[in-house]
Amino acid sequence: MDNQDTPQPLPFFFVGKTVVTNRVADYQQNKLPLLTQAIGKPETQSIWYTKDHIAKLLDEINYAGGDGLRFYFGNYEPEHPTFAGQQCILMAVTREDARSGIIRHVDVYLEDEPYFDERSVLSREFSADDDEADRGFNFGSPCPPAC
């Protein structure tokens, strides 16, 4: 919100501090210890994304003619130098697909999109040798270790 002097309605997805606090506490008390034990080190508790990251993701949704995002939970590879075995969030742009009167939101894979080859050789904001370059849209900062 650019101007906090002008009240705006709360977003429809607002759930409030109590719901957030209770759901996080439940995860931390019931699932986090099991996951931490399973991987033998502190498991991911949250992932932070910059405002610019979210804005660029919205730009990509628009570029792809998308209608939303799907969030997947995954795990980093065991050989990952920083986050081995930890949970991650993977985001997939979705696009509406209406067949037989049924509307579905299907994942958009950039590799299957027109102009992918041309886009993939254009300069990006990180080096191809960057340790984080293999994370796709998953460029958040997992906590732990980056809390």
The per-residue pLDDT for range 26-71, each reduced to its tens digit, is 999 999 999 999 999 999 999 988 898 899 999 999 999 999 999 9
- How confident is residue 139, by pLDDT bands cut at 50, 70 and 90? low
Across 18-27, 69-78, 97-106, 118-127, least confident range = 118-127
What's this model's pTM, rounded to 2 decimal places?
A: 0.77
User: For residue 16, what are the CA distances in angstroms to 10, 73, 87?
Assistant: 10, 23, 25
Contact 94, 64 (CB under 8 A): no
Q: Residue 67: what pLDDT?
A: 95
- Give residues with Cβ within 8 angstroms of 98, minimum separation 6: 104
Q: How far is residue 14's CA from residue 7's CA, in Å, rounded to a whole number?
A: 15
- Comparing CA positions, the residue from 93, 65, 89 lying closest to residue 76 is 89
Task: Label residue 4 by pLDDT band (50, 70, 90).
Answer: confident
Q: Give the pLDDT band (50/70/90) at residue 126.
A: low
